Amino acid sequence: MTIVDPLPGEDQVLRAHELRKEYGTGTGLVRAVDGVDLAVTAGETLAVMGASGSGKSTLLHLLGGLERPSGGEVWLAGRRVDTMTEKELALLRRKAIGFVFQAFHLMDELTAVENIELPALLAGDSPRAARRGAGELLERVGLSDRAGHLPTELSGGQRQRVAIARALINQPLVVFADEPTGNLDSAATTEVLRLLDSLHTAGQTLVIVTHDSRIAATADRLISMRDGGFVEETRLRHGSGRMVGELAGLEG
């Protein structure tokens, strides 16, 4: 499957148009996502915040092709995702998408390095190449000394870092993170926070759903959701040292 280059003139890696997801019928109808438009440019970090039930996780699943929308379109690197067959989606997930979950979802019977190399093996890479790539990513996330450990032997923060490394092994266009620090304590959150920040600096496109304000604060752009729709959008990358000084108690 070839991935078409982004549309000329705008390097939009991800686009959604009138995206909708509904459950139930009649009086029991629930609109999880209600007509959302979205565009993410390459290298951008987008954070989506909202209360539980606001539809943010569902939105992420729709964007990542893990669920099919009830209506609307999703475009990833110029290809229409919502109409793909399961097989095409699988190929897409191998090449263009990485996913990080709140519950980590690591295989308990595989070591850290085996967990990370798995998507590469599924994609058909040679075992040696997969293992090498996994080793590099382990170093990237700072866990080289834990390569042979099972998930049960790792702390929460370490597990999530392994999961992030796994999401990166196939060099995806976009990494989707669904409440990546939802199951983590404060210290572990800081670990993951640093990692996500460094990914951003390296130019990785990230779409993060979170209720943790610190995670959201690493983003270029922040969107708040309520009842399935967007209510507020802000660019977070402005702000100066003066602002920080003021906040710290230095007076102007």
Partner 1 sequence: MSGGTSSKEPPHGFQLRVVQEVLLALLAKEAAHGYQLRALLQRALGPLAEVLNAGHVYVTLNRLDKAGLVTSQRVGQADRPDRKVYELTAAGRERVTEWLGDTSWPKPAPAEFHLKLVAAAEAGLGDPERLVDTQRHAVLAELAAVQRAALAEPDGSAAGLLLEGVVLRLQADLHWLETCARYWTVRKGSA
Partner 2 sequence: MGRILLICRLAVRDLRRRPGEAALLLLTLTSATAMLTLGLVLTGVVGRPFENTQEATSGPDIMASVAPIDGQAADVARLEALADEPGVTAHSGPFPYSQSEVSAHGVAAVAWAQGRDTGPAAVDQPALTDGGWVRDGGAVIEASFAEALAVGVGDTITLDGRTFDVVGVAVTANTPPYPKSCFAPCYFEGEEKLNTLPPPVRGKDAPPTAAFLAGPSGLVWLTDSDARSLVTTPDHLAYVMNFKLANPADAQAFTNAHQPHAHTEPFVQNWAEVLSGHTWIVEKKQETMQAGSILLGLLALASVAVLVGGRMADQFRRVGLLKAVGGTPRMVAAVLLAEHLVLALAAAAAGLAIGRASAPLFTDPGSGLIGSAGTPPFSLATVGLVTGAALAIAALSTFGPALRAARTSTLSALLDSARPPHRTAWLNTLSARLPVPLLLGLRVASRRPRRTLLGVLAVTVTTCGIVTALAAYANRYLAEKAAGDDPRLAISQALTLVTVVLIVQACVNAICITRTTILDTRRSAALARAMGATPRQISAGFAMAQALPALIGVLAGVAGGIGLAEALDDDPVTVPPLWQLLAVIMGTMVVITALTAVPVRISARRSVGEILHGDSR
Q: Which residues, 178 to 207, sit near partner 2 by CB under 8 A?
A: none
Among 51, 107, 129, 202, binds partner 1 (CB under 8 A): 51
Among 147, 156, 197, 229, contact with partner 1 (rule: CB under 8 A): 197
Stretch that binds partner 2, among 125-133, 215-223, 229-237, 238-246 (CB under 8 A): 125-133
Residue 250 site contact among partner 2, partner 1, none (CB < 5 to 8 Å, cut-off depends on kind): partner 1
**C-alpha distances in angstroms, 107 versus 135, 162, 185?**
17, 11, 22
Does 239 participate in binding partner 2 (rule CB under 8 A)? no
152 sits near partner 2 (criterion: CB under 8 A): yes
Decide if residue 94 touches partner 2 (CB under 8 A).
yes
Least gap, CB of 194 to partner 1 (angstroms): 6
- Measured CA to CA, the distance from residue 218 to residue 99 in angstroms comes to 18
Q: Which stretch binds partner 1 (CB under 8 A): 3-11, 111-119, 147-155, 227-235?
A: 227-235
Question: Residues 72-75: contacts with CB within 8 Å, 24+ apart?
Answer: 72/16, 72/17, 72/18, 72/19, 72/20, 72/35, 72/36, 73/15, 73/16, 73/17, 73/18, 73/19, 74/14, 74/15, 74/16, 74/17, 74/19, 75/14, 75/15, 75/16, 75/17
User: Three-class SS of residue 105?
Assistant: coil
Q: Assess 122 for contact with partner 2 (CB under 8 A).
A: yes
- 238: CB partners within 8 A, 6+ apart: none
> Binding residues for partner 2, per CB under 8 A?
57-58, 61, 66-68, 86-87, 90-95, 99, 101-103, 105, 107-111, 114, 117-119, 121-124, 127, 130-131, 150, 152, 166, 170
